[in-house]
Structure 1
């Protein structure tokens, strides 16, 4: 199922917020080798929209032209109060009726609230405007969280929290392993070996830290007890966190990471299967091939087109 994302850009939107919304979707498509997400840009009116740093983006259509989307991302930043005029809010309410879920990024939740579209929901926003949000819209349950998902209303506090929200959406849609892979592509998560404070953080961050360690030790895999020790956890503690966050054991996560790297090497290099097996920590090619077939449904060589025969010219 391909999900349709409409991104409504307001003048002075944040480049970083936009990138953190779109790049995880692009990465999910790339890593899964499937068009999981499709997105389009909207404006309040025709013509380019300038970001806060002057980057112009030319939307494909106006918000009034939008026929349908699974998610409507609302992305203002500075000057959000300028976009709560009655005409803008009417167009926003009309578009919201043609969309499945509404997402307020940065100060977007305040604009949605001004349109009456957040009443009865929990929401957050940038910490600079949380007091204003709470005082101006008492019908909304404002919370000081980095992001909030409340049924068909989503919100987050700014550019970096947009990445966190997108990773959570990808996990809900396509499983925690793809979300972990997307996060790793952007070096998102705890620094490996960050020390004994890690047991106090949320479980998904611990799993991302464990996965980062695993990716750094493919050719000579670390024992699971050693990974747990480096993260300041017991082996049982790591296993519990992995089960809760990813519904897989640490061994299963490690195996999936190694096989994903094997898949990449098969597709992108001309290394032999035996060489690839060694690079991802398998003692022999047969063992890797069996795991590869279980994970992907085919043998490594099935990904490689046969090379054309070379004629010998005398």
Structure 2
């Protein structure tokens, strides 16, 4: 098989990158090669400076090359946490743009969408953003379309929301190169439950950890969607009940049966969940975060936040900063 017949992927790994996202892409590609009986895919690891990188699981990886040495590749996929940044932004981001100009598909998995967006290469493209990062991504990149789809592909850009979505992205590459039959066989090898394409929405946990958003009764799900669309400017519970076509009392009974929470408690959880995203993954100050989640003052947000999570916002941000991977940026205390 000639070089032109092999799809070459390079994975750009940052300190603290999620190891599962890397293995979730490489393993199905390896299996596809084995099933097809030929080397259809090749891959290399890249770091910004060519030095070894520690994943979030405290496992070290030895890259094959530095970013500056990347040439003649088909895909470059960024793997990182949301706070990861290039140590030398100008030459490194310039290299990404050069690769893109020369026809490489540029992509990212999980938190890798953040350094990719900072490079300017997601402008005009939709990005799949993991639900736990969506508030922080929207705050930093309001001009970029963030989708809840598990993967987003288009215009020589591809993004995946997390490790399982990275597997789906790899299956997409397998299908494009070797056909749907091989992609399905790869999925079955790993007991991947289904082959998910574009348009499939991420599952999100509800207040009750054992359930997901798709498991909620229809009227409750509609109400949750309205709550989610009205975080910054809170909507009245009675208005939500009227929109979904039930009384406020009936909506409360439905919510409690489905979630163990009243609509007010559930709505407060969603707002504080967004506050926590911003605390953990953005540089927004506490007053800015309070306004973003519909609280008139930081103190009112702090009370609700402490009731929901058992820790104050300031203490939570301080705790998270203590565990930041070395060289990742640290959020301000207030």
Is the CA contact 1:12–1:78 (under 8 Å) kept in the aligned structure 2? no
Deviation at 1:157, TM superposition (A): 0.7
Map Cα deviations across residues 49-70 of structure 1 (whole Å, 9 max, x no partner): 1111121111111010111211
Aligned CA RMSD, in angstroms, stands at 2.5
Q: Which residue of 1 aligns with 2:152?
A: 148
Aligned equivalents of 1:71, 1:203: Cα separation in 2: 19
1:101 aligns with 2:101: no
For 1:46, which of 41, 50, 53 is the aligned residue?
A: 50
Map Cα deviations across residues 92-120 of structure 1 (whole Å, 9 max, x no partner): 33343345201111111221111110111
Structure showing greater Rg = 1
Q: Which residue of 2 aligns with 1:228?
A: none
Deviation at 1:10, TM superposition (A): 0.7
Q: Give the 3-state SS of the residue equivalent to 1:161 in structure 2.
A: helix
Aligned equivalents of 1:6, 1:80: Cα separation in 2: 18
1:18 aligns with 2:18: no
For 1:115, which of 114, 119, 132 is the aligned residue?
A: 119
* Larger RCO, structure (CA 8 Å, separation 6 or more): 2
Is the CA contact 1:124–1:130 (under 8 Å) kept in the aligned structure 2? no
Aligned equivalents of 2:28, 2:175: Cα separation in 1: 11
Unaligned runs of 5+ in 2: 201-334
Q: Give the 3-state SS of the residue equivalent to 2:132 in structure 1.
A: helix
Q: Give the 3-state SS of the residue equivalent to 1:126 in structure 2.
A: coil
Aligned equivalents of 1:59, 1:6: Cα separation in 2: 10
Question: How many pairs align?
Answer: 195
Is the CA contact 1:147–1:157 (under 8 Å) kept in the aligned structure 2? yes
1:163 aligns with 2:160: no
Matches within 5 A, 1:211-250: none
Is the CA contact 1:42–1:62 (under 8 Å) kept in the aligned structure 2? yes
Give the alignment's TM-score, normalised by structure 2.
0.54
Q: Which residue of 2 aligns with 1:61?
A: 65
Is the CA contact 2:149–2:198 (under 8 Å) kept in the aligned structure 1? no
Q: Give the 3-state SS of the residue equivalent to 2:166 in structure 1.
A: helix
Map Cα deviations across residues 123-163 of structure 1 (whole Å, 9 max, x no partner): 11221211222232233211111111113110011111111
Q: Which residue of 1 aligns with 2:94?
A: 90
Unaligned runs of 5+ in 1: 191-200, 206-314
Deviates more, 1:150-159 or 1:168-177: 168-177
